[in-house]
Amino acid sequence: MAKNNNYWRKRMKALAEERFQDAQEIYQDIQEQYRRALNDVQQDIEIWYQRLADNNDISYAAAKKLLKKDELKEFKWTVEQYIKAGKESDVNGKWIKELENASAKYHISRLEALKLQIQQHAELLSAQIEGEMTEYLHKAYGEQYYRTAYEIAVGTGVGSNLTQLNTKAIETVLAKPWARDGKAFSDRIWDNKDKLVRNLHTELAQCITRGEAPKKAIDRLAKTMNVSRNQAGNLIMTETAAISAEAQKHCYKELGVEEFMVVETLDQKTCKICRDMDGRHYPMSDYRIGETAPPFHPRCRGCTCPYYDDEFTQGAQRAARDEQGEIYYVPANMSYRDWKETYVSGEQMTLDRLE
């Protein structure tokens, strides 16, 4: 006997939370990559300032002073090492060309040299993030696809033949933009990199112009790095939700699911968009990520489940969370709007109603 809609809500929400936890692990790893990159930037700045201090001048004019011949040889060697590291990390060809051009210059100012070093850190960081995210999202798609198929088989009591995923098909999905701006996740990574480099260069030039101490310069650059790090965090969490939704869409169609339902989290963190979408169901022909299916915004916690035109079992329940994150249960057919009207008074939970 097929399970009712409450079953699908519970199981698909559980799957979504598993993907969320997996994404959190990748998010933490990316945070560490940013931390290491910032340490490298800090070291480069300290060395650069020390050289200026040795000349008893840390003004902008001193920063524009041409390198001496013996320093030029050292810088050429560093650029060549950058080129090698870049090629090994699959950094894009445009940046490699810029480095090759830089190594051929006879006169390079100290400030330009430092800007190149800082950009190198950003380029390598972005290449690492793209590679790690590609590998992770590829894996997440497959896991969501097969786990969804398993849950549907268990819930309906009917086993079905399922088309095995292949690498090329998943790569096609990853390369296909799902958001309205027409950008795939890799485009967003490199867009973030370009913005980070511009902001780092601007902050660096301003710090030098003001003659600020190394610590102040590093602190200002750290703030810029933190903004980029948060953007990377938003990206991995949102793209995980999107690729999971795409995998479920694929699976639903393979298994003949005719309708799907939006499932949101019942707590006060849920935004207005998601509140209004909770419980809505649509035919599979209307399954559009960002419009009728989550994610509807960055870090969206919603998901979908199969929808069948049946009655909820008497007494069935779904989970909700109070302000402390504690789980309690409400009727399974309760929408977000009904939940808020019943259990939330103003901004405070009416706990006596939960007893």
Residue 277, judged by CB atoms within 10 A of its CB (0-12, 13-18, 19+), counts as: buried
Phi first, then psi: what are they for 318, rounded to 5°?
Answer: -130, 160
Residue 225's alpha-carbon distances to 130, 195, 197, 217, in angstroms, are: 17, 11, 10, 12
The count of other CB atoms within 10 Å of the CB of residue 181 is 8
When mean pLDDT is compared across 76-80, 91-95, 133-137, 290-294, the lowest value belongs to 76-80
Give 75's pLDDT tier (boundaries 50, 70, 90): low
Q: In whole angstroms, give the CA distance from residue 224 to residue 197.
A: 10
Helix (H, G, I), strand (E, B) or coil at 210: coil
Give 353's pLDDT tier (boundaries 50, 70, 90): very low
Looking at per-residue pLDDT, the higher value among 147 and 94 belongs to 147
Residue 34 CA, chain-centre distance (Å), reads 14
Helix (H, G, I), strand (E, B) or coil at 166: coil
- Residues 21-36, mean pLDDT to the nearest whole number: 90
User: Each residue of 201-236: pLDDT tens digit?
Assistant: 888 877 766 766 677 778 888 888 888 988 888 899
Q: Give strand pairing partners of 160.
A: none
Q: In whole angstroms, give the CA distance from residue 115 to residue 224.
A: 15
Looking at per-residue pLDDT, the higher value among 2 and 163 belongs to 163
Asked whether residue 325 carries a pLDDT value surpassing 70, the answer given is no
pTM over 0.85: no
Q: In whole angstroms, give the CA distance from residue 35 to residue 32.
A: 5
Residue 287's alpha-carbon distances to 37, 44, 186, 217, 297, in angstroms, are: 40, 50, 24, 49, 16
User: Each residue of 244-259: pLDDT tens digit?
Assistant: 999 999 999 988 899 9
Longest dimension (CA), the chain: 85
The DSSP code sequence of 171-198 is HHHHHS--STT---HHHHHHHHHHHHHH
* Helix (H) / strand (E) containing 73: helix 69-88
Give the single-character DSSP code of 288: -
pLDDT score at 334: 53
Give 312's pLDDT tier (boundaries 50, 70, 90): very low
